Amino acid sequence: MLKSMTGFGSATVELPTLTAVIEIKTLNSKFLDIYCRIPKNYSDREVEVRNLLTQKLERGKVECIFTIQSKPTDNAASIVNRPLVKAYFQDLRQTARELDFEAGPTELLRMAIQMPNACNAEQSGDSQQKEDEWAQLRKGFEEALSKVEAFRLQEGALTAGKFLEYITQIESLLGQVQEQDIKRIPAVRERLEKNVKDLVHSDSFDPNRFEQELIFYVERYDISEEKVRLKNHLDYFRETLADQLSNGKKLNFISQEIGREINTIGSKANDSVIQRLVVQMKDELEKIKEQTMNAI
């Protein structure tokens, strides 16, 4: 089943000691590119998180963020990072002066305290408590990851539906090319017969050269093989899309083969009606190529 590289999932974990929000966002990328933001207390778990993301998500640009807010408890101590708070305070006061207004010290201190890393809440709990907390956080992480997978499958199903629309449209245009090709052949034959008559009555007529030229023009204007190959590529695209192991890279390769046949039909047909149909087929094919870039 086709999966999109676009996905989102989040989960909230409520514990007596903390509240955690885990968010995972994924976008399209040629390879797997993971960015993790995990609080210092759990930085040793980053490898574990990355391994799970690698196993489940395969490809895409992945952003995984753990936002953890500690709750006040009897064994919690709030530590003010005084040097940092002083730096924030001085910077805020200087900024206010540069903007030509005076701010009260109480307001500036309140703002400085709220800045990142101004206060750190430390828990005096043991390592077992931390293990228990991580076990719950991991469950939340796995829940968010499952939601991402569901999101990707849902987006992939929508994309697959679009692919079928585009392929059906190209197939319909190919049918019109086949109809026009039947009308084109008499015109080509008439033009060749006229040229043959001119050559036969010419004093410099060379039968061997004539045979070579005739073969050349027959091969040049004939698009029978291209039409058959294009139809086969369209069928193969559908089969691959229906496969449980379908992936964007393979579909992209098939779309390139479809493009080659469409281009060859346009260059060999030498017919204005077929040229217009070829342009429309290229337009549908371009939509397919854009979508395959976002499929796993």
Q: What is the pLDDT of residues 26-39, one digit of tens each?
A: 999 988 999 999 98
Residue of 68 and 197 predicted with greater confidence: 68
225 token code pair: 């093989």
Residue 65, helix vs strand vs coil: strand
Across residues 249-276, what is the average pLDDT?
92
112 token code pair: 């400085």
Q: Supply the DSSP symbol for 40.
A: G
The H-or-E segment that residue 205 falls in is none
Residue of 281 and 120 predicted with greater confidence: 281
Instruction: DSSP for 219-257, please give it.
Output: HHH--HHHHHHHHHHHHHHHHHHHSTT--HHHHHHHHHH
Measured CA to CA, the distance from residue 11 to residue 139 in angstroms comes to 9
Q: Is the pLDDT of residue 245 over 90?
A: no
Judge whether 15 and 281 are in contact, CB under 8 Å: no
Q: What is the pLDDT of residues 50-84, one digit of tens each?
A: 999 999 998 899 999 999 887 766 555 557 778 88
Measured CA to CA, the distance from residue 75 to residue 88 in angstroms comes to 28
Q: Which residues contact 256 (CB under 8 A, 6 or more apart)?
A: none
Instruction: DSSP for 95-159, please give it.
Output: HHHHTT----HHHHHHHHHTSTTSEEEEE---HHHHHHHHHHHHHHHHHHHHHHHHHHHHHHHHH
Centroid of chain to Cα 253: 16
Single pTM value for the model: 0.71
Question: For residue 185, which of 226, 223, 225 has the smallest C-alpha distance?
Answer: 223
Across residues 218-244, what is the average pLDDT?
89
Nearest 5°: phi and psi at 72? Answer: -70, 130
